[in-house]
Amino acid sequence: MLKRFTTAVLATSLMFTMAACGKSDDSAGSGTKADDGKIVLGFAQVGAESGWRTANTKSIQESAQKAGIELKFSDAQQKQENQIKAIRSYIAQKVDVIAFSPVVESGWDAVLAEAKRANIPVVLTDRAVDSKDTTLYKTFLGSDFVAEGKKAGDWVVNEYKDAKGPVNIVELQGTTGSAPANDRKAGFGQAIAANPNLKIVASQTGDFTRAKGKEVMQAFLKSQKKIDLLFAHNDDMGLGALEAIQEAGLTPGKDIKIVTIDAVKDGLTALSQGKFNFVVECNPLLGDQLMDLVKKVKAGESVPTRVETQETTFTKDQATAALPTRQY
């Protein structure tokens, strides 16, 4: 009888020990972050829609590794619902900081409020949100998209300053509702507004992709009797449009002038070959700046509400000179 009792006690003790171990494992599996002193960053990327985005992702991944920051990365495939799901997953995992590049400007208040309640600071990168509650995020790191559009428009104004008749412009916009699409369009419009001969005769989204840019340009070529210039919100759409122009038997850069934004290698190559006419830079290499901000907000340090990247513009000769050492 005593032997059976002792065996039962030992079995019960072993069961409790195993249960305790199982509880610890389950907790880790459910996303509880191990407190090893390492900063954990959850990053929700827009997707891989362009050469610019690919370079941006690579910069973030390499900079996180260099900074000793554990990176949890997700690709939203250009869908807002995927980004929201990723952010909620990061909140559940109790990461230290969340960063993301919003697919569109609107519709973020609810999920950002959840992050705020969980005391997880948020950093916006590349694209902004239109939330009136600026306490939902710590800072925005990226470009001035309005200024980029204005630089493109200023070049067009100067290029056609002696034009006698109307100059017909078609516009390939970025993803509908996204900050760069909204702001680049606004900046370009502001720049050309005082010149009634500069007319945007057609404007449609190309979703920042080369394939869509080609498709929409093909439609423009069929619907418009005369096109003098294309303004594309990024290089990839411009490169797709370039193919459509060539297939239509026209010469890009001459029959139809092309102005784009980004300045990735493929875009600068087209510019150096005279197929593009002017390119405004948008720097994707935000990784080092982002990791610096992540460390500061994790430490509770104050950071500027907006951190802008330094960028330039390129003509044909400048593109030719820059290409040999271009990182993206």
Put the strands of the sheet holding 257-262 in their side by side order: 198-205, 167-173, 229-232, 257-262, 278-281, 313-314
What tens digit of pLDDT does each residue of 73-102 get? Answer: 999 999 999 999 999 999 999 999 999 999
Instruction: Return d(Cα 259, Cα 185) in angstroms, integer.
Output: 13
Per-residue DSSP letter, 279 = E
pLDDT reported for residue 37: 78
pLDDT band at 9 (very low <50, low <70, confident <90, very high): very low
Q: Is the dihedral of CA 231, 320, 268, 290 positive or negative?
A: negative
The DSSP element (H or E) to which 150 belongs, if any, is: helix 145-159
The answer to whether 257 touches 275, Cβ cutoff 8 Å, is: no
Taking alpha carbons only, the member of 317, 174, 316 closest to residue 257 is 316
3-state helix, strand, coil in the chain (%, to 5): 50, 20, 35
How remote is the C-alpha of 254 from its chain's centroid? 31
The answer to whether 152 touches 231, Cβ cutoff 8 Å, is: yes
**19-23, 78-82, 316-320: least confidently modelled range:** 19-23
pLDDT reported for residue 310: 84
pLDDT band at 23 (very low <50, low <70, confident <90, very high): very low
Domain residue limits, the chain: 40-143+284-310, 145-282
Bridge-based pairing state of the strands 257-262 and 306-308: unpaired
Report whether pLDDT(245) > 90. Answer: yes
pLDDT reported for residue 26: 29
Report whether pLDDT(11) > 70. Answer: no
Bridge-based pairing state of the strands 70-75 and 40-45: parallel
What tens digit of pLDDT does each residue of 187-227 get? Answer: 999 999 999 999 999 999 999 999 999 999 999 999 999 99
Residues 9-40: b if buried by 16+ CB within 10 A, e if exposed = eeeeeeeeeeeeeeeeeeeeeeeeeeeeeebb
What tens digit of pLDDT does each residue of 282-314 get? Answer: 999 999 999 999 999 999 999 999 999 989 999
What tens digit of pLDDT does each residue of 115-134 get? Answer: 999 999 999 999 999 999 99
Bridge-based pairing state of the strands 167-173 and 198-205: parallel
Which whole number is the average pLDDT over 256-272? 98
Indicate the fold that domain 40-143+284-310 takes in CATH: Rossmann fold (3.40.50)
What tens digit of pLDDT does each residue of 53-70 get? Answer: 999 999 999 999 999 999
pLDDT reported for residue 221: 98
The answer to whether 174 touches 156, Cβ cutoff 8 Å, is: no
The answer to whether 175 touches 101, Cβ cutoff 8 Å, is: no
What tens digit of pLDDT does each residue of 140-192 get? Answer: 999 999 999 999 999 999 999 999 899 999 999 999 999 999 999 999 999 99
Report whether pLDDT(21) > 50. Answer: no
User: Which residues are bridge partners to 42 per DSSP?
Assistant: 72, 98
DSSP string, 60-121: HHHHHHHHT-EEEEEE-TT-HHHHHHHHHHHHHHT-SEEEE--SSSSS-HHHHHHHHHTT--
pLDDT reported for residue 35: 57
pLDDT reported for residue 141: 97
Taking alpha carbons only, the member of 303, 245, 320, 248 closest to residue 121 is 303
The answer to whether 44 touches 74, Cβ cutoff 8 Å, is: yes
Question: What is the second-level CATH architecture of the domain 145-282?
Answer: 3-Layer(aba) Sandwich (3.40)
